[in-house]
Amino acid sequence: MHSTEVATNKARLVAYCDPKIKEKLERLAELRLRSLSNLIESVLVEEVAKAEASGELPTKPVDGK
């Protein structure tokens, strides 16, 4: 395993954001005793759950994706 590889079964996601937002997310993650990755994943999970609950995002994929 290379030094940049992480042993996980999770999909890798690359995103860009304003540097100020990144700094705030890093501070928030530290305050919550989480990694930045874990904090961002929890925010994404909450947003997907809200979208499913509101009907914006069907809970069962139509095309199998």
Q: Examine residue 50 and state whether it is found in any structural domain, yes or no.
A: yes
Do the domain assignments include residue 41? yes
pTM: 0.77
The whole domain housing 49 covers 19-54
Residue 12 lies in a domain: no
Structural domain total, the chain: 1
- pLDDT by residue (tens digit) across 25-58? 999 999 999 999 999 999 999 999 999 999 999 9
Q: What span, in angstroms and rounded, lies between the C-alpha atoms of 59 and 55?
A: 8
Amino acid at position 48, single letter: V
Q: pLDDT tens, 7-18? A: 789 999 999 999
Residue 30 belongs to a domain: yes
Does a structural domain hold residue 62? no
Phi-psi region of 33 (alpha: psi -120 to 50; beta: other; left: phi over 0): left
pLDDT of residue 63 exceeding 90, the answer is no
- Residue 10 in any domain: the answer is no
